[in-house]
Amino acid sequence: MSILRKFGLAVLASAAIVASAVSGQAAELMLRSSDTHPDGYPTVEAVKYMGKLLEERTKGRIGIEVFHSAQLGEEKDTIEQTQFGVIDLNRVSLGPFNNIIEETQVVSLPYIFRSVDHMHKVMDGPIGDEILAAFEAHDLIGLAFYDGGSRSFYNSEKPIKSVDDLKGMKFRVMQSDMFVDMVGALGANATPMPYGEVYSAIQTGVIDGAENNWPSYDSSGHFEVAKYYTLDEHLIVPEILVMSKKSWDKLSPEDQAVVRQAAKDSVPHMRELWAAQEKKSEEKIRAAGAEVVADIDKTPFIEAMKPVYEKHVTSEKLKDMVARIQATK
């Protein structure tokens, strides 16, 4: 490139920075962030909030643009793109990491958490930090955990009141071998598939149903095609905000610290948004005529999960993590 052209581009670039600083529009460095959920969903709003914090704390140098509604693709693909540095930030469930990062399996095990509070205690403590750190070997930087409530089964066929009722039914799961085994252990059949394909798969009868939390059951519209929802709450899977290590390495250590802190500071805001959205979605879905089975004996569900633990918690490291989670009060 000629010196003149280089100079010309530099002038253009700095003109753009001045213009953006004046208009308050885009920051100098706009991090591209992916989310499968629609605009307004708690995870999307939390990352936007983090972007606001970042812009304030860097005086407009760094911001975030959230590409919601799976504009950049389905989770499994966007995870790869984040590893390659094509996407800077990604808010995803831990489920699709289960086959890649073994530590994520432990906190994705069915019934590993006694409650959302228990999950918060674990993820906010040393075990959470260990799991965040495990991402770096996979070209990702784990920044913060978000809430994903608890996930339960829904289907288009009949109200499920016991493990027996699930026999032979077909459910979509996230792309994680452990979730395939989880459904198998309940006597049903699992089909791993991208989130965006679930609605039509239920509608056309390829599957009988899926499993998710209230806000996703709502925003995906799945309740329109699968109105039987059984609150067996088999999973409390944390969600995570990751950054591409490639994008991370381009930041100064000071900016890295600001990014990490802004991510952490978005968590309490996210939890508030989440709690409010869970209530709103539940009300909306009940009003829409969904048949909710709420009083269900979870003991047989919990007992059925033993083979999943036996198959997936094999190393001493994972066994120790499970024991430490169970011992967390």
> Residues in the site for ligand BDP, rule: CB under 6 A?
36, 75, 92-93, 148, 174, 195, 212-213, 216, 239
CB of 44 vs ligand BDP, minimal distance in Å: 10
Q: Which is nearer to ligand BDP, 27 or 70 (CB)?
A: 70
Q: Which is nearer to ligand BDP, 82 or 212 (CB)?
A: 212
The residue with tokens 């208009």 is 23
* Paired sense of beta strands 140-146 and 239-244, if any: antiparallel
Q: Which is nearer to ligand BDP, 62 or 170 (CB)?
A: 170
Q: Which is nearer to ligand BDP, 36 or 82 (CB)?
A: 36
CB of 204 vs ligand BDP, minimal distance in Å: 18
CB of 329 vs ligand BDP, minimal distance in Å: 27
What are the φ/ψ torsions at residue 65 (nearest 5 degrees)?
-110, 120
What residues contact residue 101 under an 8 Å CB cut-off, 6+ apart? 134, 135, 138
CB of 120 vs ligand BDP, minimal distance in Å: 17
SS3 148: coil
SS (H, E, C) 67-85: ECCCCCCCHHHHHHHHHHC
Structure tokens at 288: 């829409």
112 vs 17: CA distance, rounded Å = 48
- DSSP line for 88-121: SEEEEESGGGTTT-HHHHHTTSTT-SSSHHHHHH
329 vs 326: CA distance, rounded Å = 8
Q: Which is nearer to ligand BDP, 98 or 216 (CB)?
A: 216
CB of 18 vs ligand BDP, minimal distance in Å: 38
CB of 175 vs ligand BDP, minimal distance in Å: 8
The residue with tokens 């989130």 is 195
The total number of residues written for the chain in this structure: 329
Q: Which is nearer to ligand BDP, 90 or 244 (CB)?
A: 90
Compute the C-alpha angle 125/240/148, nearest 5°.
90
Q: Which is nearer to ligand BDP, 216 or 244 (CB)?
A: 216
Residue 188 Cα distances to 109, 167, 193, 281, angstroms:
17, 5, 16, 27
CB of 124 vs ligand BDP, minimal distance in Å: 19
